A and B are shown apart, each in its own frame.
Chain A
Amino acid sequence: AQSVTQLDSHVSVSEGTPVLLRCNYSSSYSPSLFWYVQHPNKGLQLLLKYTSAATLVKGINGFEAEFKKSETSFHLTKPSAHMSDAAEYFCVVSDLDNYGQNFVFGPGTRLSVLP
């Protein structure tokens, strides 16, 4: 069975400093991994995805993540935080079956950005 652990429920950074949101996964197969962002009262927006191509994945808004199979990790980073990055971030693991994606979400990490 798949599962996702997000090691921090809340991360607080100052504007202009680096962001690190940690994610570890468990999957029996070769997984696809995603990071989604959810702003207050909004739906989920895809930041980036890993689907067995390059292990360093670049996403939107300057975010990137590195897939490390040996560590079963997929941490999300950004060199310089912006106030607009404040939101809830979800790490997601998925196996592809005959009918498409079967997503398992982590519990989320709330990112606060201080001025």
Chain B
Amino acid sequence: DAGVTQSPTHLIKTRGQQVTLRCSPKSGHDTVSWYQQALGQGPQFIFQYYEEEERQRGNFPDRFSGHQFPNYSSELNVNALLLGDSALYLCASSLVGYSTEAFFGQGTRLTVV
């Protein structure tokens, strides 16, 4: 049983560009959340997707957007990249309505130059 998989593992982009990160949730999970982890800090919640809709959103600008597909996989898009967007982006999957832990992927390391 594959866990949460994210792609790519590393990415280098130029300021002003756009980037798309991908996540496949753990088998059987239907909810995907995205987190940004800046160097030396704890992960910060970006948003959560369930039934192909954004259900919750953290304190992130509209440059951050997402999508969830019918197979529950998800994408995170960031437009107009800033140097401050450099971080580890983590995807977490869970099952709606259950008081259980979320499973995290290994993350995508984004570097904006």
Contact = CB atoms under 8 A, between A and B. Distances in A.
B18 interface: no
Would you call the interface of chain A mostly helix, strand, loop, or mixed? strand
A51 interface: yes
B22 to A, nearest CB: 15
Interface residues on B, range: 20 to 34
B41 A102 contact: no
Contacts of A99: 31, 48, 50, 55-56, 96-97
Given A51-B99, A98-B96, A99-B55, A104 B104 contact: no
B73 interface: no
Contacts of B94: 100-101
Interface string B36-48: 0000111111001
A49 interface: yes
Nearest to A47: B101
How large, as a class, is the contact surface on chain A?
Answer: 20 to 34
A34 B43 CA distance: 14
A42 B109 CA distance: 11
B87 interface: no
Contact of A108 (B42, B45, B98): B42
A90 B94 CA distance: 18
B21 interface: no
A103 B92 CA distance: 10
Contact of A42 (B35, B42, B50, B106): B106
A13 to B, nearest CB: 21
A44 interface: yes
Interface of B: 4, 31, 33, 35, 40-45, 48, 50, 55-56, 90, 92, 94-107
7 contacts: A42-B106, A46-B101, A96-B98, A99-B56, A100-B50, A100-B94, A101-B101
10 nearest CB pairs, A to B:
A105-B42, A44-B104, A43-B106, A99-B55, A100-B31, A100-B94, A99-B50, A51-B99, A46-B101, A43-B104
